[in-house]
Amino acid sequence: MAILPEGSKIASVSHVTKSGVDAIGQGVEIVDAATTSGTPPAIGHSEASKGTPLREDCRTIWFDVSGTGTDDQVYDCYQKFKLSSTSYIYNRYSKATVAQVSGVRRELHEYTIRFREAKGYARITGGPYNYGPLPGSSNCSTGKFAYAGVEIPLRSCDSIANLAGGASHQTGTRYTGHENKQRYVDSYARYTSNGNEPVFSDYVWLTVGSCGNLGINCYNTNNDYNDLWTDGLWS
């Protein structure tokens, strides 16, 4: 059962897949209502951000751990700030939790979030600008991104690379390492539009590895696997 915000509608349905498995999970893309009312739902950064988001929401994405009864989890949120009729900031806040399996060390080798203009839209005229986080930048030093009255806290800047550039005004952040518990990833950028509100599509990628020694990072492993989730408007 899905409960939609008032005035919203389902635009498309997507599912998480893995090689050799028909379907692991499903997702629904919801088109925002033309106007919002009341208090938006709290998300990871809302209590600390400055500025009122035009739109914000979160989703929980489950990735099946083959051969077990547990899943890796990603709690993924977005915030869209309107600076003017032609200027916006889009922020992603994402947290991955690695499933624990008895006798096995499991860890994230790659955790990537991306966003870009949604398929079928042509409203963005420029950007990404002021994108990040960028390792070694002043934003990472202060632990926050600030622009035009909007202030967004950052949770982590280590072991990441920025992915700004490419098709459809894309940006994002990639973590690489050996996290075996929980990892936060942030990504944000400013955009200009043609006077219409831009619509973004979101993407999450995990590479998870496992090995037998619980106390040592998994360097020698042949059983890494990849999982991808998109919201149905990624092209």
pLDDT band for position 45 (50/70/90)?
low
CA 55 to chain centroid, in Å, comes to 15
Average the pLDDT over 160-180 and give the result: 96
Say if residues 103 and 211 touch (Cβ distance below 8 Å): no
Strands (E), 118-235: 124-132, 144-147, 150-153, 160-162, 171-179, 182-193, 200-211, 225-230
CA 234, 231, 10, 66 dihedral sign is: positive
Band (121; pLDDT cuts 50, 70, 90): very high
* Integer Cα distance of 161 and 89 in angstroms: 20
The pTM is what?
0.80
pLDDT tens by residue, 49-97: 678 899 999 999 999 998 888 999 999 999 999 999 999 999 999 999 9
Mean pLDDT of all residues in the chain? Answer: 83
Window from 39-48, 86-95, 180-189 with minimum mean pLDDT: 39-48
Q: Is the pLDDT of residue 168 over 90?
A: yes
Residue 117: predicted pLDDT? 98
